Structure 1
């Protein structure tokens, strides 16, 4: 089957609001050695896409400057040496950019075979959040069964993933959300304690709920004044893992508390990591998480879908913070 030379894609026409996302014609990428070309069926929408559109999260050097960090679709072509998949295979993939398009080239290492029981829309909602949560909560935060876990933003894409993954691994889950309705949604996903941050002080709630012991692992994308409160909320030998800083990346911290409680402060960003590192995470997800999704123990909550041409509307929805679950663009 011959491939087209051009495709529809969403480009960022200068940093700004959702209106700068423009549907345009661009060349179809050619897969490099070890890469596959995916004919995209659906693409997940994530907070980093918004940051990139605003000019605050540029694509890594050498990668597509089109937005989009996760896709599902079928393999359309193989680069030299790519042998893990065959043309026609249905996959989901973490991509370093270029997902808002009809085709995307990506390392075969960051692709996972799509289970037959999942739709392409569901599959597109998996890679970015599950790669992120697995690496930061399990690999870096060392969450174990029976431990207490806090994730901020429990009804966003990261949050709904973190709640369910932590529960699947038998943790006690705390989360913060922005309304009583979202508290109900978080509890329905498995959260043991859901905290409305508009009406409750999460640090005080955690102190009360844990008899002053605190939580063992915190996954935070807020930063700012949450950093000091997170440290107060951690148990001895606890881990604070930051993956974003919506309220800023600076804070005043009493490091005496860090020292006395033997805390670990860490964080990561996946986009700049090598395909080999991402590939290790992909294998862990394929082996240990996908079976939980297929069995229904972990669900893929979908908030809304938009056609590719309405990517700007998807970003408006994302920035409203009204969504519960994942936002996905449909391409074919």
Structure 2
């Protein structure tokens, strides 16, 4: 096996899209509890754009190479073997990593691997780990979702919200609402994903529409990727004893103007932030197990769907980043590794 491999690098360590290029680096060697996976495809995430620009805090154990989700074939195992899942060389898998997926090979803990179902393509599997595990974390571990509760997902056509809407519907949410900045994405959330209703945040008072749709009660759970610009209206739209989970700051980190924070007290609101990549391996493994037990059977029977917007060869990684930055996608952007 060669000691080097091709990988996507960033010229000078950070920069614009034009800084992305293919180069040759050392091939990783799996540690005792890791597997070496030859990558077939990797998924893009918004954190990749931020990391490329130098604006994302990378965990200390992560390699400098971008990418946290992938699919591929196990080519070697560390001295501990295939772990409790009994992975073997030649197994088709997909998985979550702290980084390094924009490459021909990745060394990753066997605790973060999942066997690839024959019903799904390499490209579909590469789009599952980060988005579906993030949605699982936000919905179940952080917000305490249970059957009958209502949920609002901001950024309806983002891959995490696409996953989360399907999870909430599959587990009997009382109502599922969504927001987006384009009518096309709102229609997608309702007609394709099964949301109860979706509201265009650029043309409507979405918080008011949520209150109307819930007879003034508001929603039990809000999953927010926007941040500062939605803080005030999240407090309007959340129900008594509701939970707002913040996963991103696409709208910035500053809350502007005079904002009445009394609903936090009067409604007994829990406003909580959460991340996934910075979590330890044991935490992520538990989420992987929940994905395998809860979601994987529904991928196999077609109940859950991985929405892939575009597949590109990794030589066109600049085009892939550009497509993601345009904010027009409805689902994953995937790169294949030849």
Give the TM-score of the pair, scaled to structure 2.
0.95
8 Å contact from structure 2 (residues 67, 102) kept in 1: yes
Of 177, 182, 188, the residue aligned with 2:180 is: 177
Identify the residue that residue 194 of structure 1 maps to in structure 2.
198
d(CA) in 2 for partners of 1:80, 1:257: 55
8 Å contact from structure 2 (residues 137, 287) kept in 1: yes
Matched, 1:13 2:11: yes
Query: What RMSD, in angstroms, separates the aligned Cα atoms of the two structures?
Result: 1.2
1:230 Cα deviation from its structure 2 partner: 0.8
Of 111, 116, 129, the residue aligned with 1:127 is: 129
Equivalent pairs, count? 330
Q: Residue deviations 1:62-100, cap 9 Å, x none? A: 321111010001111111213231111111101111111
d(CA) in 2 for partners of 1:23, 1:45: 16
8 Å contact from structure 1 (residues 155, 324) kept in 2: yes
1:108 Cα deviation from its structure 2 partner: 0.9
Of the structure 1 ranges 251-260 and 179-188, higher mean CA displacement relative to structure 2 is found in 251-260
1:254 Cα deviation from its structure 2 partner: 3.4
Partner SS, residue 189 of structure 1: coil
Q: Residue deviations 1:31-86, cap 9 Å, x none? A: 11211111100000010001101110142113211110100011111112132311
d(CA) in 2 for partners of 1:53, 1:69: 13
Q: Residue deviations 1:236-267, cap 9 Å, x none? A: 11110011111222326534211111111112
Structure-2 change in CA distance of 1:82 and 1:271 (3 Å): farther
Of 244, 256, 263, the residue aligned with 2:269 is: 263
d(CA) in 2 for partners of 1:257, 1:327: 38
Identify the residue that residue 231 of structure 1 maps to in structure 2.
235
Of 251, 257, 275, the residue aligned with 2:281 is: 275
Q: Which runs of 5+ in 1 are unaligned?
A: none
Of 279, 290, 296, the residue aligned with 1:290 is: 296
Partner SS, residue 242 of structure 2: strand
Identify the residue that residue 92 of structure 1 maps to in structure 2.
94
Partner SS, residue 184 of structure 1: helix
Of the structure 1 ranges 178-187 and 311-320, higher mean CA displacement relative to structure 2 is found in 178-187
8 Å contact from structure 2 (residues 35, 82) kept in 1: no
Q: Where do 1:284-323 residues align within 5 Å?
A: 284-323=290-329
8 Å contact from structure 1 (residues 163, 173) kept in 2: yes
Q: Which runs of 4+ in 1 moved over 6 A?
A: none
1:302 Cα deviation from its structure 2 partner: 0.7
d(CA) in 2 for partners of 1:35, 1:268: 26
1:16 Cα deviation from its structure 2 partner: 2.2
8 Å contact from structure 1 (residues 136, 267) kept in 2: no
